[in-house]
Amino acid sequence: MLRPEEIKTVLLQELEGIEKVIQMTDIGQVIEVGDGVARAYGLQGAMASELLYFPQASERLGREFYGIALSLEMDSVGIVLLGPDQMVREGDEVRCTGRVVEIPVGKELLGRTINPVGQPLDGKGPIPAKEFRRIEIKAPGVVKRRPVHQALMTGIKAIDSMIPIGRGQRELILGDRQTGKTAIAVDAIINQKSFHERGDPVYCIYVAIGQKQSTIKQVAETLARFGAMEYTIIVSAAASEPGALQYIAPYAGCSIGEWFRDNGMHALIIYDDLSKHAQAYRQVALLLRRPPGREAYPGDVFNLHSRLLERAAKLSDELGGGSLTALPIIETQLQDYSAYIPTNVISITDGQIYLEPDLFYGGVRPAISVGLSVSRVGSKAQQPAMKKVARRLKLDMARYFELAAFAQFAAELDEVTRKELIRGERLVEVLKQDQYQPMLLWQQVMIIFAGVNGYLDDLPVESVRPFEKQFLEWLRHRYPEIVHEIETTRDFSDATEERMHQAVKEFKEIFVAEMSKKAEEAA
């Protein structure tokens, strides 16, 4: 019979043997590499989406080199490489790290441009982050959420009046290339500056996926020029980066946004764009020999975007009431919004803003299609003042575009139809807006108020925008109490509404008199 000391020695030897076996399952060998992916033999202990370390590749590169275990098979592991595949060679060692991909989070990232693994790209030195988060986190359940009810103002008249977005909502922006999708997203970021000044900040994350580096730099410079970079984080996975980095980029940006949401703050994240994200995932999946499905996309491409966009949420008051609002962007081909990826994302989101090329090239900018754009949260996420003045606006605009198409073929129009066309033409002018010029709530409310109440109907169409510019400047000095009430209460009383009618009439007399004077001088 063994003594206690001998039993202890035998047990320790057995444990050492087990540890060696476990360690052996955590080490593998590269058997194939190329096109941004590698296949390794061994690694029986690897987890799905685990970070795998390449010691020899790290020595060649001069910094740590990692990959992500994406395909766990019987005899090998498919790995997507987070760096140049030229650094990895057949026979190289691969090691498990026991860590799933993580990214630094927190306010330390504000004003910075980083890659999807948290490394700085702006030359401003290391990021002193105190906290890290996994890039893949399960979305909060229904019990942890509350219905979307707070407005997220974009500063764009056409959106805030007809397609309101709420904090915690997912609103898709889609359209052909070069129709102003990124411009809407950038304007929404710039508009949050006024909320930061009011003490109601919305922190912004712009995720660039598969964009040219010059385009990403241009967006960063624009945000810096308007003072928006101080509350914005850019996550960049340019077109020149490996497919793996483009694949993880939106998840990394989402984890950064979730930190703000889970700490009782509000965040806005823009994914620009998820079409290129799906293409990057298709590239990686095909290289890993996953079976192709429709349009060669792998079968889980719907899950790819649903598990990302489900993470946008408005949390319950018990959990701090924070929110993460998502504005994914999708690029359509030749106005085909019923294609595979667009319809996937439309079914996941809470509405869409469709940009129509015909409107864009016709000078209507932003080129928002009233008939095909919708917000499924609706007026619950709209400011009370805007709700009062824009109640019928979307219906009137949809009817105008329908009548305008019909009127092209009609020889004679009845008086009612003619009046609707005249009103619609003026409202189209009212909703036009220059790029990088988001408007405050009172400015939007007052010019839409003038338009929907018919005060612009007898003005020439080309005079509507000059009227708007001069009217808003005049109103700010002449009726500051109206401006103050709308901006502080986000609403207006019946008495204020009377003063609004009075103000528009008063300025219109001045404007028409000036127009007549200029016409006489010109004659």
Which residues participate in catalysis according to the annotation?
A: 376
Distance in angstroms (rounded) separating the CA atoms of residues 390 and 1: 91
Residue 35: other Cβ atoms inside 10 A: 13
- 3-state secondary structure (DSSP) of residue 18: helix
Cis amide prior to 494 (ω within 30 degrees) = no
Would you state the structure tokens that stand for residue 40, as one six-digit string? Answer: 């390794």
Residue 127: other Cβ atoms inside 10 A: 15
Distance in angstroms (rounded) separating the CA atoms of residues 118 and 67: 15
Q: Is residue 516 packed enough to be buried (19+ CB in 10 Å), middle (13-18) or exposed (0-12)?
A: exposed
Q: Which of 244, 215, 373 lies closest to 234 in space, CA to CA?
A: 215
Distance in angstroms (rounded) separating the CA atoms of residues 438 and 514: 28
- 3-state secondary structure (DSSP) of residue 390: coil
Residue type (1 letter), 70:
L
Q: Longest C-alpha distance within the chain, in Å? A: 122
Task: Classify 439 in phi/psi space as left (phi over 0), alpha (psi -120 to 50) or beta.
Answer: beta
Please answer whether residues 261 and 105 qualify as being in contact, where contact means their C-beta atoms are separated by less than 8 angstroms: no
Q: Which distant-in-sequence residues (6+ apart) come within 8 Å of 345 by Cβ?
A: 172, 174, 274, 305, 309, 328, 330
Distance in angstroms (rounded) separating the CA atoms of residues 24 and 389: 70
Helix axis angle, 274-287 relative to 340-348, nearest 10°? 120
Distance in angstroms (rounded) separating the CA atoms of residues 266 and 268: 7
> Three-state SS string across 405-426, please?
HHHCCCCCCCHHHHHHHHHHHH
Please answer whether residues 86 and 65 qualify as being in contact, where contact means their C-beta atoms are separated by less than 8 angstroms: no
Residues 139/144/147/149 CA torsion (nearest 10 deg)? -100
